Structure 1
Amino acid sequence: MPGPLPAPYDHHHRGGGPAPPPPPPAPQPIHAAGEFPPAMLQQHPQYHAWGGSFSYGPPAQAPAPPYVEHQKAVTIRNDVNLKKETLRIEPDDECPGRFLVAFTFDATVAGSMTVYFFAKEELNCNLTATKEDLLKPVTVTFKEGLGQKFRQPSGTGIDFSLFEDAELFKEGEMDVYPLAVKAETTLSIGQLSEGEEHKSQTPNSQITQAVFERKEHRDYHVRVVKQILWVNGTRYELQEIYGIGNSVEGDTEGNDPGKECVICLSEPRDTTVLPCRHMCMCSECAKVLRYQTNRCPICRQPVERLLEIKVNNKGEEQQQTPQSPPPPPSTAPLQQQQQQQESQA
């Protein structure tokens, strides 16, 4: 039988000495604060993206701002405008104890002014005097012209001693206003075309609703609460636009300070933020900004809508389209409020 095979040749041990010791274990790395060894990372996979500032990964991205609607304003021609800052009451020299209503107004057509005390608004912007037995409405006709002065006829004014303070000094929403002035044109009725609906047969008008104020038993004052337009059978409510005066006045070059967009600082302002009514941006910046934020650049209030208002200077009046006739000097920007949608306001 063949013998056993010889042992394989040992290339490492040339002598008969003992075998060398095994190599030392590999050194463990020192982990900095916020780091974990691989074994721990495998056991806790939620820490893989941890960067030292957050416990369970980076914060989620902020949601995109809600979409903001961008609209273009429709120009409404206002034939008669009562300048609300001029509305006041004056003592009646011929009837001591009574006070007369006075104000300044502009009119591009002829019409009539009617002063109501304790008036309630009815359908189609008609006013009804709720205390007609004490104070009857007073109507005075006028001709066209700018800067006209109105003063209620003597003897027809109000005697405040006949009424309670609660009736004179009202706050908040109300159905009956202590004072109302209705400026009505005589133009629209005679210019009706055949086939027009009955609602268009109501003359165009402007209504100014106000309350009385008295501080520390001093003289009485008037504070305007609301102005309403009734044009071609549609009800509109006038609202102030903050900053539009800077866009209307000044040179046509747009070089006056305060007229430029607050975003690009170069283009003229033509876009109003609603509901805060700050006219502070150009239309191009407004289109970009509405996808980035829903806050007004001026007051930081939430934005519901953007209203683009093109203000035409003298050199641009010929560019008006028939659908947007140039307004008279006293025309103010309007926000349409349909009579049928009042319950949703």
Structure 2
Amino acid sequence: MGNSSSSQRQRPPPPPPPPQQYPPAPVYSTGPQVPYPGPYGPPPPQHQQQYPPAQTGMQPHYPQPPAGMHQYGQMPRTQEYQRTATIRNQVNLKKQTLKLERVEGAPSSLAIHFTFDASAACRVLTFVNAREDSKCKITCQRPANRPAVSYGKGLEQKFPPADAAAAAAHAVDAGELASTSRPLPPPGQQLPKDTVYPLVVRMEALTDEGRAQGKVLEEVAPGGELPPWVQSQTTYAWVERDGEEWVARVVKQKIWVKGEAYELQEIYGMEQNSRGPAMGLPASVEGFEDVEGNECVICMSAPRDTAALPCRHMCMCHGCASALKTQTNKCPICRNEITSLLHIKINKGTPAPAAQPQAAS
């Protein structure tokens, strides 16, 4: 028994069992942590296990996101904010009132009619078949002796004046218009710089600096280059024949302020009431009202004061516009892309800009 006990104590221990093999842990992949566009917050992360694809001979199909939605990891383009600068324009022709009417007793003569507002004394000039250069100098194809007509300060003033002689001097020969009569160009079409406009109306007034210096408008030749101490508004109209009548349609309006020319752009969704000058003018005006209500189209409570550019739809309040620009870059009205936002302050009874002036070429 003693020998058997000794042999058992000398036996070496058995080797340890081999380590157990475990499958590799799955790897989880998530997209970058960025805000998800839309009102419902971010979606849950997608877990993709890294296992070898089955050998089926077919390519795996991954569904595409619905059209119109942002791709994961892509933020909508940031829109910049712009603020308007108030330009006190002293004259404004209401372009919807511009028309041509036949003169009684002279079937071939057409009288120019329009309504305008002036916050200072001004003069009115008319031109037929004329072009304008970069210095706002107007040149007519045929020289015409059309004297300037002076007006005082006032709203809802009428042209032509009551003076029959002055009205006759500004009558237009229908035959002269026939040479340049053509269809109205499509909206948004860029016209050449040397375009001849059938009808041009210019209204001029002195600036505060001009009055302080003792300047007078008679120092500037009709249609001549404008000095910085003159402020003007020029209306360019297309004339086309409609049966026996002639129709004048405004193509654009420009203002001359402190030696710079600006082309006026209308803001859609804002309209001037009947007591103030026409919209589309950064002028000293009162009482802008909206035709269908002044509520923001998003919250339906706050007044709208922000326009989307370049479509120029003023349809949002400042707060909703700030929230919208972090979620999408589409205009709520036309769904076109927004490149910037224009905040417009409109106060009843105080001067307010009604359009964004853009430098004219």
State whether TM-score is above 0.5. Answer: yes
1:301 Cα offset (Å): 1.2
Instruction: Check whether the contact 1:116–1:136 (CA below 8 A) recurs between aligned residues.
Output: no
Q: Which residue of 1 aligns with 2:154?
A: 145
Aligned equivalents of 1:46, 1:57: Cα separation in 2: 21
Q: Which residue of 1 aligns with 2:200?
A: 180
2:251 match: secondary structure: strand
1:153 match: secondary structure: helix
Q: Which residue of 1 aligns with 2:211?
A: 190
Aligned equivalents of 1:262, 1:55: Cα separation in 2: 41
Q: Which residue of 1 aligns with 2:220?
A: none
1:305 alignment partner AA: S
What does the per-residue CA deviation read over 1:144-200, in whole Å, with 9 as the maximum and x for residues that have no partner? 11111111621542222245455454535142211010000034422359xxxx986
The 1:266/1:154 distance shift into structure 2, 3 A limit, reads: same
1:98 match: secondary structure: strand
Residues 192-271 of structure 1: pairs in structure 2 closer than 5 A: 192=213, 201-215=228-242, 217-245=243-271, 258-271=293-306
Aligned equivalents of 2:228, 2:64: Cα separation in 1: 66
1:282 Cα offset (Å): 0.6
Give 1:90's match in structure 2, choosing from 101, 104, 110: 101
The 1:202/1:177 distance shift into structure 2, 3 A limit, reads: farther
Aligned equivalents of 2:329, 2:229: Cα separation in 1: 40
Residues 1-345 of structure 1: pairs in structure 2 closer than 5 A: 42-44=51-53, 55-56=61-62, 61=72, 63-132=74-143, 135-151=144-160, 153-164=167-178, 166-167=180-181, 169=183, 171=185, 172=189, 173-174=191-192, 175-188=195-208, 189-192=210-213, 201-215=228-242, 217-245=243-271, 258-314=293-349, 317=350, 326=351, 333-339=354-360, 342=361
1:96 match: secondary structure: strand
The 1:203/1:214 distance shift into structure 2, 3 A limit, reads: same
What does the per-residue CA deviation read over 1:256-313, in whole Å, with 9 as the maximum and x for residues that have no partner? 9721111111211000111211110011111111121111101111112211000011
The structure number with the bigger radius of gyration is 1
Identity over aligned pairs, percent: 38
Count residues in correspondence: 274
Instruction: Check whether the contact 2:265–2:358 (CA below 8 A) recurs between aligned residues.
Output: no
1:211 Cα offset (Å): 0.7
Aligned equivalents of 2:108, 2:93: Cα separation in 1: 26
Q: Which runs of 5+ in 1 are unaligned?
A: 6-40, 48-53, 318-325
Aligned equivalents of 2:83, 2:140: Cα separation in 1: 38
The 1:168/1:143 distance shift into structure 2, 3 A limit, reads: farther
What does the per-residue CA deviation read over 1:62-99, in whole Å, with 9 as the maximum and x for residues that have no partner? 73211111111111111111111111112122533111
1:334 alignment partner AA: A
1:220 Cα offset (Å): 0.6
TM superposition score normalised by structure 2: 0.67
Instruction: Check whether the contact 2:102–2:110 (CA below 8 A) recurs between aligned residues.
Output: yes
Aligned equivalents of 1:248, 1:64: Cα separation in 2: 44
The 1:290/1:246 distance shift into structure 2, 3 A limit, reads: farther
Instruction: Check whether the contact 1:260–1:268 (CA below 8 A) recurs between aligned residues.
Output: yes
Aligned equivalents of 2:55, 2:73: Cα separation in 1: 22
Aligned equivalents of 2:328, 2:54: Cα separation in 1: 36
Aligned equivalents of 2:107, 2:274: Cα separation in 1: 44
2:167 alignment partner AA: P
Aligned equivalents of 2:177, 2:272: Cα separation in 1: 43
The root-mean-square deviation of aligned C-alpha atoms, in Å, is 3.5
1:232 Cα offset (Å): 1.5
Aligned equivalents of 1:156, 1:243: Cα separation in 2: 36
Aligned equivalents of 1:63, 1:109: Cα separation in 2: 54
The 1:287/1:108 distance shift into structure 2, 3 A limit, reads: same
Instruction: Check whether the contact 1:268–1:282 (CA below 8 A) recurs between aligned residues.
Output: yes
